[in-house]
Chain A
Amino acid sequence: MTRSVAARHYRRIFASRSPEQRRALAHVKRFVERMLGDPAFRLALGDNLDSARRAAERYGIDVDPAEMLPLWHSQYQCHRHKPEGAQWPLAVLWDDYMAEMLRHREVMREEGDMADVHPRFHIWRQRQMRRCASELGSSAAWITHPIIAFELSDGCTVGCWFCGVAADRFRGHYAYSDQNARLWRDVVGVARDLFGPAARTGFCYWATDPIDNPDYDKFLFDYYDITGALPQTPTAAPLKDLALTRRVLALFDKYRTISNRFSVLSVRQLDAIHAAFTAEELLGVELIMQQKDSPVPKADAGRARLVRQRLQERGKDDGKEARWIENTTIACVSGFLVNLLRGRIQLITPVAESGRWPLGYRILGERFFATVEEFRAGLEGLIDQHMRAGLAPDQPVRFRRDLAYEPGERAFSLVGRRVRHTVQDDATSVPVGPLIARGTKTAFDVLAAMGGGDMLVAADLLDQLFDAGLLEEDFDDRFAGAHNEGLALARRDHGAVAPRHRDPSAHNYAWDTPA
């Protein structure tokens, strides 16, 4: 088993810092978490250093706010990332650390490259990455396109109202029995054999919460043992099974590959998390502030999309609030979504949420398996059927449905929600763009319209448009629409959202109680 490049990069982020620096980072991190997630803390900071120091001390934050003024004081923010910012050493320490964490995201994306191991999958994934950059704009930079995700439960007990993938009701978990463990290890082994180091980008959740599976840490260790990478663990219920959470954090301490993540649903939960874990214990855990008044916006997908629609229908959301990012997604996998309990493999890729793909990812195909042989055959079958190296000869050549075609002088433009593409189209006597824009012609038809001397040039342009992810690949309606039970549940009773997890401090929406 070779060492993961991404894991080495991640470990260096910590190893290159002294114990004192790591401790300081842990407390700056806790300060930032309070800033983002606790209005009372923001109020207590006040405008002067005395009140800020008292607030930090009261919350057990053992760093001096005066040494990181650009991180929190509005009058000093202009000095952040500037040469004069060196006079606030904790702010510099934090910003350098965050920059390396952002770089780690790029390294993770690169670890999914399979140019040598599986060129066909590699080319398909690259195309999906280009399409996402075009379709989603800057938010696509956050997507690392892992190649595989495993669900070790069916559904989720938490039921967050904003769940971007609208997790189903919890039905049970995949136990670590001898038989299941054997299949699990075989399945991960197949992923490693087929996809090489790219299998290290995989993780063990999707529309599930890892902590819902009491054996989760055993599966996690197996994944590390087989691939050399310890997958990320995100949970919205870190205190539900504290012993399990601590076992997961212990694995992180031993094999750290990537930061874990806790979703924080309320100030009360933030208090409880900070009480249960020291700042140092949470240095490798991102706390994502998901409270109603958090500055962290929600992706307008899954249940969050439904909530926003209902708000607008009831005149309670004028669309100006920054809580939503429209036409985006929380999905990240361009590859396989595997549910062990159902024995199901789906080939998926992120897309902007829409009525067609309300969960923010497109499902291209599906297979079922009960044995490792069937699992391998399922992966290979989906690759053969859906990962095309070029345009399908029997389907129309069309621009993506989210792109508007605009003819121009010796060129045409494709205008999306966030990106405008301009394509030079003057190299053939018959322009290619208008033929594609008709939406009815196959590649054969387009090329047949060319004279013999233009055919290769036109074919090359078609190839480039296809490789850039600008041509429509989504022709299959079988999986489109809301087939997800989690979304159907939320739609029930006039769109009422009835979270199973309710916190008294959480915001009460009018439709939480069905009419």
Chain B
Amino acid sequence: MRLLRGVVACRGGIMSVDEARRFERDLTNNSELLAKIKSIVSSLASFVEAGKAHGYNFTLADAKQLVRDKVPRHQLSDEQLDAIAAGHGIGGSGGIGGLGGGISGSPNIVVSGIVVSG
């Protein structure tokens, strides 16, 4: 029934982020589904695959958007990750990610500028 509802919802035009949200909600409420998922997931991409296998139609971008909606400070942009790659975090007091980022980098001699409550 759940599978059918998922497909119908997609056909009905419900946004994929909503599908991701529905998948997450069902994981919370359906211990049988949770048990199945736990044995096969290791990354966000694997959640997308697992979701598809159980009739939830959403993409990796949708899953990331869901996480971003839930935890705004958790997402690093590609630019921020690239800044880590380019070593731009060195010497700054704010570190990579700054106040809004999840992961910061700064030299040992500089106290990391990321503010957990920021």
A419 touches B47 (CB 8 A): no
A411 close to chain B: CB less than 8 A = yes
Of A255-263, A281-289, A350-358, A420-428, which stretch is located at the interface?
Answer: A420-428
Question: How extensive is the interface on chain A, given as a class?
Answer: 35 or more
Contact with A along B67-102 (1 / 0, CB 8 A): 100110111100001101111011100010000001
Q: A387 → chain B, closest Cβ, in Å?
A: 15
Q: A133-B86, A443-B43 are in contact. Are A453 and B107 (CB under 8 A)?
A: no
Q: Nearest B residue to A426 by beta-carbon distance? A: B116
Write out the residue numbers on chain B whose beta carbons fall within 8 Å of the beta carbon of A463. 43-45
A455 close to chain B: CB less than 8 A = yes
Q: Nearest B residue to A391 by beta-carbon distance? A: B42
Docked Cα-Cα span, A389 to B24, in Å, equals 23
A172 close to chain B: CB less than 8 A = no
Q: A423-B102, A447-B38 are in contact. Are A455 and B47 (CB under 8 A)?
A: yes
Docked Cα-Cα span, A466 to B67, in Å, equals 17
Q: A33 → chain B, closest Cβ, in Å?
A: 28
B27 close to chain A: CB less than 8 A = yes
Write out the residue numbers on chain A whose beta carbons fall within 8 Å of the beta carbon of B87. 133, 137-138, 140-141
B104 close to chain A: CB less than 8 A = yes
Number of A-B contacts (CB under 8 A): 162
Q: A446 → chain B, closest Cβ, in Å?
A: 9
Which residues from 427 to 453 on chain A have a C-beta closer than 8 Å to any C-beta of chain B? 427, 442-444, 447-448, 451-453
Q: A23 → chain B, closest Cβ, in Å?
A: 35
Q: Nearest B residue to A137 by beta-carbon distance? A: B90
A424 touches B41 (CB 8 A): no
Docked Cα-Cα span, A447 to B34, in Å, equals 11
Write out the residue numbers on chain A whose beta carbons fall within 8 Å of the beta carbon of B89. 133, 419
A483 close to chain B: CB less than 8 A = no
A427 touches B85 (CB 8 A): no
B116 touches A424 (CB 8 A): yes
A422 touches B114 (CB 8 A): yes
A444 touches B39 (CB 8 A): yes
Q: Nearest B residue to A140 by beta-carbon distance? A: B87
B105 touches A419 (CB 8 A): yes
Q: A452-B29, A467-B81 are in contact. Are A390 and B90 (CB under 8 A)?
A: no
What would be 19 A-B contacts, judged by CB atoms less than 8 Å apart? A126-B81, A138-B91, A141-B90, A408-B116, A409-B116, A416-B108, A419-B90, A420-B107, A424-B116, A442-B42, A452-B27, A455-B47, A456-B47, A460-B44, A460-B63, A460-B74, A464-B75, A468-B76, A470-B103
Add 4 more A-B contacts to A419-B105, A462-B42 (CB < 8 A): A420-B105, A423-B103, A423-B104, A467-B81
> Which residues of A are interface residues toward B (Cβ below 8 A)?
106, 109, 126, 129-130, 133-134, 137-138, 140-141, 389-391, 393, 408-411, 413, 415-424, 426-427, 442-444, 447-448, 451-453, 455-457, 459-470
> Which residues of B are interface residues toward A (Cβ below 8 A)?
20, 24-30, 34, 37-47, 63-64, 66-67, 70-71, 73-76, 81-82, 84-87, 89-91, 95, 102-108, 110, 112, 114, 116-117
